[in-house]
Each structure stands twice: as structure tokens, then as C-alpha cells.
Chain A
Amino acid sequence: MTGPVAGFWWVPPRQSHDERIKMKVAVWSLVVLLIILHQDIWLWDNATLVGGIIPIGLFFHACISLAAGVIWFMATIYAWPVEDAAEAATHQPGKGGDA
């Protein structure tokens, strides 16, 4: 999905301008989908236990948390403002070095 690790983070493969726009739209669509899924009216009164331990409503929302991590990971790769990345690469921190 991604290119090599640059510094401490992943960078996307080379893409055309149109491809970059498409990926941004895809990422933000996933964020919207996540917000819709968060409402999960379909499990409102379902008391099933997943694995005999976790109520399915809670399990679903734990999955929402994990999915949020994955989608935000994609956002940092495909929807991160390009100029920030460039700026960060040239930025010299102030006194004190790495805290």
C-alpha cells in the first residue's frame, strides 16, 4: 500500500495529481462512513456475547476504535498536507534538542 518508511513515517507511492485527489476523497469518505457506522442502530438492543465474553455492541465499538486508527493512518499517508511534510523536513528545532 505504501512506499518505504521515510524518517519515522510511511510515504505514499508516487502518484499523479488526479490519483492523489482520488485517494484524499477516498480517505475522507471513509471518515464519514466511520461516523455513520458509529451510530450502529442495528445493534442497539442486541445482547449477544462475542466469544462468550464481550457484548456485541461493545465489541462493535471497539472495532470502530481500531478502524479509526487504520483510517487515520491512511489519512496521514494520503491526505496529509504536502507543504507540512516539506516544511517539517527542513525545520530546525529550537534550543533544547529533542525533548
Chain B
Amino acid sequence: MTSAIVIGCYLAMLLGLGLFSSRLFSGSGKDFQLAGHSIGPVMLLMSLFGTTMTAFALIGSTGEAWQSGIGVYGKLASASGIVHSLCFFLIGVKVWKLGHKYGYSTQIEFFRDRLESRHVGLVLFPILVAMVIVYILAGVMGAGTVVHVFTSGAFPSLFAGNPAVPPSVGAIPEHWGALVICCVVLVYVFFGGMRGTAWANTFQTIAFMVLGVLTFFVIAKGLGKGSMVENMAAASAAVKAKWTTRTGVSQSEFLTYMLIPLSVGMFPHLFQHWLTAKSANSFKLSVVAHPIFIMLVWLPCVMLGIWATTDIAISVVKPLARLSHDVASDQNKVLPMLVKGLSGDVLGGFLAAGVLAAIMSSLDSQFLCVGTMFTNDIANPYFAGGKMTDKQTVFWTRSFVILVVAVTYGISLLNPRGVFSLGIWCFSGFSSLFPLIFAALYWKKLTKAGAYACILAASGTWAWLFWSAMKWAGEGKGRSLSDYLIHLPIGGQEYELMPVTGMILASTIAMIVVSLVSKPLSDATIEKFFPANS
């Protein structure tokens, strides 16, 4: 019950913050979608960091370290520290500059102008929205699971659960938990727009960082009877070499994993966040602090994950012994088990709030982004002749946000568990379009046909590799779509590559070749995006 109260208080505070921020809303469409370009360095950092970090940063990183060892830090955390900041630096600042100058709110508005293609949105929109929806769906379902796990036993008279599965007794069912989280996010996005989202993200990012570190120290203290440092040393000494090295991952896979964080360059919700910045200088703090923030969140989680594999941890948290490395979903139970086993209900509630904060700080931006895209990229150009008023823009954005929340929640009720293994494919899809945004900003010779070729090559290779992965996963028990790799034989040796490598290669080659042989864009467009005096 205590955990449920803590979670409830946290959600109430979040609602209050969102509603308060709406008092600063000026009523204009730009203010609702982009907070009137008023976001300073600290809030931009918190928004960008909170948006890029999902529940995976806490629960997933611990679970993956428990499953396969420390390699997950290099594959995702330190790689993202380099590549995300690179994207903020090379893409974000330039996008902000152009968006501020020409009044863009979405990626498609930018591409339409840059490529002299009125209908490029019809090709890009379904691809971007489909990938964001998968991302949202994973967040909504993850939120329901977190609420369910952390409210176990809180309401025995209300939720009977399944007596054969004791933790489900008295726990808020997953679909109710997901509904509550969707409603909370919907309320502060609906009333506060981008400003409410940025405020909530700042609050939530602080929450999940502080609570993550706090949880680490409490668990480390509980691992033995000695001091915290002695406990940590004893647990580390007990970890087998498989988890303290990267022997389980090939060097070529590790190398090509670094292409996955390039997805940040094409996330439509980050694109929108970049445009909220007050000035280009606002990006500097994000560029510098992002890698360090990632380390602060990931390092403790990875340590907890490898400690959980030891007999020391199993002796103090007995349920860990029930987990199997052969059951894919078991890894997500590691952190909740450590918290429940080694801390009280209050910290358990706080950690649940922290995990929910990580989920919600991504969901809010995604909801608002899809609502903005529907309004600006479809409704305004095709149904309002490009003449939407501010009032109509706010109305339609809010309406589409409600629609997106309702549709994703509806799909989540079908319990499509497969979406979790789609995560890496979703990120790969965004990464495969990275060459397009990079060329649009830095390559004058990019043409409309080249851009279409890039999009089609990216989608085509994605579909072909995904189909191959489904076939491969169906051929062996326990194979997950996310484990599929390309096997490239060179000189008698076989190299394992992430599928994203093939996608980026195909989209880049198609874009360059077709651009070089197709009709160049007009001089006016080139001058507009690459002024001679810059």
C-alpha cells in the first residue's frame, strides 16, 4: 500500500506541475507546439535527456547486464554519449537555426521546403508515425507492468489477481496502470503543450536520476553485513568472468551497434524539442552534460545487474534464484526484485515513480509530436489549405494527441508483447534515415529524387532484413527478433553485423547515386539553405 501511495503522490505532483505550466500558455499554435522558442539550457538538457532515456535506462540496463554482462554499457551507454551529443551538435543546432528562421515545427515541414517536394510528407509521415507508435506502445505497456509489479498486495479486496501467481494478488492490473499513466500524461500535454512537457520532463529527469542513484546505494548496503564498500567488493569478486568481460559479444557486432544511436538524428520528437530552444547556445549544456548524465544512470544499473548473478545476491534476495537466463522476460524482473528484497516499501514506491518518470518523459514528447505532425503535415496542408489559425492549430493538435493516446492504449489492450523485441528495429529504422537529414543539412547536391531513393532504400532493406529476422526467429526456440545479425564472410572469416549496417549502407548509396544523376534543386533553394556568406 505504501508503494501505491508514493506512486499516487508522484503522479498528483506531476499533474499539478503540468496544469500550472498551462497558466503561461499564450494561446498561439507555436507556443503550444514549441513553447514559443523559450526553453533555456537547463530545461533543454533535461528535456532531451529525459526524452532519450526510457524505462530501459533503469530496468532494461540492469536486466541486460544480468543477462549478458557489462557489454551493454559500451553498446548503448558510452556509444550514445558520443553519438547523441554528435547529433545534437551537427544536426540539432543547424535544425534549430533553420527552424527558427523559416518557422518549421516538424521534420516534414523542413524536408518539404528543402527538397522542393510538396508531397514528401506522404511518404515520410506513415514511416515516422508507425515507428513512433511502436515506441509509444512499448512505453504504455511498460508503464502498466511497472504499476502492476510495484502495487503487488496493495489492494487485495479490489483486485483478486491470480492466486496461482502470488505477486498478482492485490496488484493494480496492467491495463488499469497503463490507463492511469496515459491519462496523467495526456492531461499535462493537453493543457501545458510543449511547455508543460518540458517542465514535466525536467522534474521527471531529476526524479529518475536521483532515485536511481539512491536505489543503488541502498541495494549495495543490503548485499551483506559489512560496510557498503566491503559489500560491493565482495559482490564484484563473486561475479563470474562471463559478466565482467565482453566475451559474449563479437567485436564486429559491438562496432556496428554504434550506428543505432544515430536514430536520435531522425527522431521526430527530438526534432521538435530542438526547435523549442531559446538560442543555439542553449544546446551547449546538453552537448556536454548528456554523456555524463547517461553514465550516472547506467553505471549503477549495470553494476546491480552483474551483482544479481552472484550467490551473494541470491542468498539475500531469494526470488532471484527463480529467474532463468533462457526466459527473455525474466531480465526485466531483476531490478524490481532487488528493490523489493533489499529496501522497504517507501523506496520501492520511489523507485517505481522513478521508472515511471523515465517512461513518461518519453511518452509526453511522443504524444505531442505525433499530434503536431498530424496537424501540421496532414490536416493543415491537405484539409485546411495551409491556412489554419492559431486557435485551430491548438484545437487540432490537442484533438490528435487525444486520438493517438486512445489508439495506442486500445492497441496495448490487445497485449502485443512482440513490440518489446521491435525496439531495436524501430531504432534501426530511424538510423537508416540518418543519411537523409545529414545530407539535407550539409550536402548541396542532394536532390528530391535522391531523397526519395534514400527513403525507399531504407524502407526496402528494413523490410527485407525484418522478414529475414522473422524467418530466423521462427526456426529456433528462444530466438528473439532483436538478436538477429547479418553474417558477412570476408577472407574466410565471418563477421557479425547489426542489421542497421545494411540499412544505412543501402540508403546512403541510393541517395548519393540518384542525387548525382537526377535534376538538381533550384538555385533559390540552395541559396536559402546554404547562403553564400555563411
Question: Which of A's residues lie within 8 Å of B, judged by CB?
Answer: 7-9, 31, 34-35, 38-41, 44-47, 49, 52-55, 57-58, 61-62, 64-66, 68-69, 72-73, 75-76, 80-81, 83-85, 87-88, 91, 93-99
A24 → B minimal CB distance (Å): 12
User: Which of B73, B236, B281, B288 sits near A61, CB closer than 8 Å?
Assistant: B73
Residues of B within 8 A of A99 (CB): 24, 35-36, 38-40, 43, 195, 198-199, 276
Known: A69-B292, A96-B35. A87 touches B198 (CB 8 A): no
B513 at the interface (CB under 8 A from A): no
Query: What per-residue 1/0 map shows which CB atoms of B29-46 lie under 8 Å from chain A?
Result: 011000111111101000
Interface membership of B284, Cβ < 8 A: yes
Question: Which residues from B are CB-within-8-Å of A40?
Answer: 74
Pairs A-B, 4 closest by C-beta atoms: A88-B279, A84-B280, A55-B244, A65-B295
Contact at B254–A39, with CB atoms within 8 Å? yes
| A97 and B26 alpha carbons, distance in the complex (Å) | 11
Residues in B19-73 with C-beta less than 8 Å from chain A: 24, 26, 28, 30-31, 35-41, 43, 70-71, 73
Q: Is B247 an interface residue (CB 8 A)?
A: yes
B327 at the A/B interface (Cβ < 8 Å)?
A: no
Q: Is the CB of A94 within 8 A of B244?
A: no
B281 touches A68 (CB 8 A): no
B77 within 8 A of A: yes
A-B contact pairs, 9 of them (CB 8 A): A61-B78, A68-B82, A72-B288, A81-B280, A83-B534, A91-B100, A91-B278, A93-B37, A96-B26
Q: Tell me which of B233, B236, B285 has the highest count of chain A C-beta atoms within 10 A of its own C-beta.
A: B236
Instruction: Establish whether residues B279 and A87, one from each chain, have CB atoms under 8 Å apart when the complex forms.
Output: yes
A66 touching B70 by the CB < 8 A rule? no
How many residues on the B side are at the interface (Cβ–Cβ under 8 A)?
Answer: 67
Bound Cα distance A50, B148 (Å)? 38
Using CB atoms and an 8 Å cutoff, list the residues of chain B in contact with chain A: 24, 26, 28, 30-31, 35-41, 43, 70-71, 73-74, 77-79, 81-82, 85-86, 89, 93, 97, 100, 195, 198-199, 229, 232-233, 236-237, 239, 241, 244-247, 251, 254-255, 258, 276, 278-282, 284-285, 287-292, 294-295, 299, 302-303, 306, 534
Q: Which residues of A contact B37 (CB under 8 A)?
A: 93-94
Tell me, rounded to whole Å, the shortest Cβ–Cβ distance linking A15 to chain B: 18
B residues within 8 A CB of A55? 70, 236, 239, 244-245, 306
A83 to B96 Cα, complex, angstroms = 13
Q: How far is the CA of A39 from the CA of B78 in the complex (A)?
A: 10
- Extra contacts, 8 of them, besides A49-B233, A91-B279 (Cβ < 8 A), are A9-B281, A9-B285, A52-B233, A61-B73, A81-B93, A95-B36, A97-B38, A98-B278
B279 neighbours in A (Cβ, 8 Å)? 87-88, 91, 93
Docked-complex contact B30 and A94, CB < 8 angstroms: yes
Contact A58:B258 (CB < 8 A) given known A34-B82, A44-B246, A93-B38: no
- B245 near A45 with CB under 8 A, answer yes
A7 to B280, CA, bound (A): 13
Q: Is the CB of A76 within 8 A of B236?
A: no
**Interchain CA distance A61-B74 in the complex, whole Å:** 6
State the Cβ distance, B199 to closest chain A Cβ, in Å. Answer: 7
Q: How far is the CB of B308 from chain A (nearest CB, A)?
A: 15
* Interfacial chain A residues near B282, Cβ < 8 Å: 88
Q: Is the CB of B245 within 8 A of A35?
A: no
Q: Are A39 and B251 in contact (CB under 8 A)?
A: yes
